[in-house]
């Protein structure tokens, strides 16, 4: 826990604060030096990455309770907004292949690069499609069917914006993200952006990972013991977890007048870990209930429907 290992803490603080300054003033260099992809540090083959995006795509529709045979009908003509696609817009490609009209992918960091490996990932995703879907996917590239030629902006537009905010208004029928909301620097601003971007009948579906992202030591929740200022000095510019718990998401949804149609945990912490960490929690987490502290990830589905409309 923070404060229990002063020497290790001091080393971590110095290293993390220096690298945070690098991320602040040279974000592109920081991404290159750390080799970030958005999918962790392990080396993956193009096929493994393609399989990951296919899994993400399938899970969005399982969560939305859209049967595989209904996906084309559901997506027909829809405009997609994806927050934080990582380094390759694989899910956006699949959305368009299966009927969506276009996709905007927005990020706070310049992550996307159509490197040889990532072009291969996109090619593998196309290989797995039937002829009709393959033809639609082919239209996502400047030279149809050639990922290395770059993205065709009419189909997939990639935006790097301060705070990762799209600035769109009434322009998205389906908003998606996976392993992103726990990284955003201003959760309220991201939900406000989402609300503005959603069309009246639009739906947003997000998977959120509340685990430590490798930043805990002895207890999976001990990263919640770092005081807020220290945490921010060490990680604010690197897109590391913002540490908000599910209670904060509920409050933010409500403050932005978004209706929650699904909020379901994916992983739960052990009660013993919660009890051990509770006396050391940093200020923002002290009033969080045991139940809410136990959520280490969740699925969220929300929309703009007002209560009266929804009933």
Dump the DSSP string for 179-196: S-GGG-S-HHHHHHHHHH
The reply to whether 266 sits near ligand SAM by the rule CB under 6 A is: no
Task: State the Cα–Cα distance between residues 279 and 252, nearest whole angstrom.
Answer: 26
Residue 27 in contact with residue 245, Cβ under 8 Å? Answer: no
Torsion of CA 276, 278, 279, 280, to 10 degrees: 90
The reply to whether 38 sits near ligand SAM by the rule CB under 6 A is: yes
Q: Which of 108, 155, 195, 304 binds ligand SAM (CB under 6 A)?
A: 108
The reply to whether 111 sits near ligand SAM by the rule CB under 6 A is: yes
Q: Which of 2, 57, 64, 86 binds ligand SAM (CB under 6 A)?
A: 86
Among the listed ranges 64-72, 121-129, 130-138, 175-183, the one in contact with ligand SAM (CB under 6 A) is: 175-183
Task: State the Cα–Cα distance between residues 124 and 116, nearest whole angstrom.
Answer: 12
Bridge partners, residue 80, by sequence: 103, 174
Site string for ligand SAM, 123-152 (x = CB under 6 A): ------------------------------
The reply to whether 157 sits near ligand SAM by the rule CB under 6 A is: no
Binding to ligand SAM, residues 45-74 (CB under 6 A): 56
The reply to whether 193 sits near ligand SAM by the rule CB under 6 A is: no
Among the listed ranges 4-12, 79-87, 258-266, 293-301, the one in contact with ligand SAM (CB under 6 A) is: 79-87
Name, in order, each residue with C-beta under 8 angstroms of 16's C-beta and a sequence gap of 6 or more. Answer: 233, 234, 235
The reply to whether 241 sits near ligand SAM by the rule CB under 6 A is: no
Q: How many residues bind ligand SAM (CB under 6 A)?
A: 21
The reply to whether 27 sits near ligand SAM by the rule CB under 6 A is: no
Backbone torsions φ then ψ of 45, nearest 5 degrees: -80, 165
Q: Which of 23, 71, 125, 179 binds ligand SAM (CB under 6 A)?
A: 179
Which single residue brings its beta carbon nearest to ligand SAM?
Answer: 164
Q: From residue 134, how far is each of 67, 186, 301 by CA, in Å?
A: 21, 38, 29
Task: State the Cα–Cα distance between residues 261 and 38, nearest whole angstrom.
Answer: 27
Task: State the Cα–Cα distance between residues 52 and 272, nearest whole angstrom.
Answer: 33
Q: Which of 78, 183, 195, 211 binds ligand SAM (CB under 6 A)?
A: 183
- Using CB under 6 A, list all residues that contact ligand SAM: 38-39, 56, 83-86, 106-109, 111, 163-164, 178-180, 183-185, 239
């Amino acid at each position: 826990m923070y404060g229990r290992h002063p020497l290790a803490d001091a080393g971590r603080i110095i290293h993390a604060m220096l690298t945070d300054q690098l991320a602040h003033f040279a974000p592109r260099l920081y991404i290159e030096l750390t080799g970030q992809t958005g999918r962790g540090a392990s080396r993956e083959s193009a096929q493994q990455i393609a399989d990951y995006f296919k899994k993400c795509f399938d899970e969005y529709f399982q969560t939305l309770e859209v049967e595989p045979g209904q996906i084309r009908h559901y997506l027909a003509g829809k405009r997609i907004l994806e927050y934080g696609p990582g380094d390759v817009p694989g899910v956006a490609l699949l959305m368009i292949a299966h009927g969506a009209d276009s996709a905007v992918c927005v990020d706070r960091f310049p992550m996307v690069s159509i490197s040889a490996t990532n072009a291969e990932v996109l090619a593998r995703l196309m290989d797995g499609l039937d002829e009709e879907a393959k033809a639609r996917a082919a239209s996502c590239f400047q030279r149809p069917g050639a990922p290395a030629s770059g993205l065709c902006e009419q189909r997939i537009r990639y935006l790097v914006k301060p705070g990762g905010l799209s600035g769109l208004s009434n322009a998205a029928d389906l908003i998606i993200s996976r392993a992103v909301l726990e990284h955003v620097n201003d959760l309220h601003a991201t939900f406000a952006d989402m609300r503005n971007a959603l069309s009246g009948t639009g739906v947003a579906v997000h998977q959120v990972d509340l685990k430590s992202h490798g930043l805990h030591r002895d207890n999976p929740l001990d990263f919640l013991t770092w005081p807020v200022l220290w945490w921010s000095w060490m990680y604010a510019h690197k897109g590391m977890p913002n540490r908000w718990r599910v209670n904060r998401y509920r409050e933010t949804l409500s403050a932005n007048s978004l209706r929650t149609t699904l909020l379901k945990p994916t992983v739960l912490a052990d009660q013993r870990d919660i009890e051990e960490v509770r006396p050391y929690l940093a200020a923002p987490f002290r009033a969080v209930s045991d139940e809410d502290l136990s959520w280490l990830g969740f699925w969220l589905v929300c929309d703009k429907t007002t209560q009266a409309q929804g009933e």
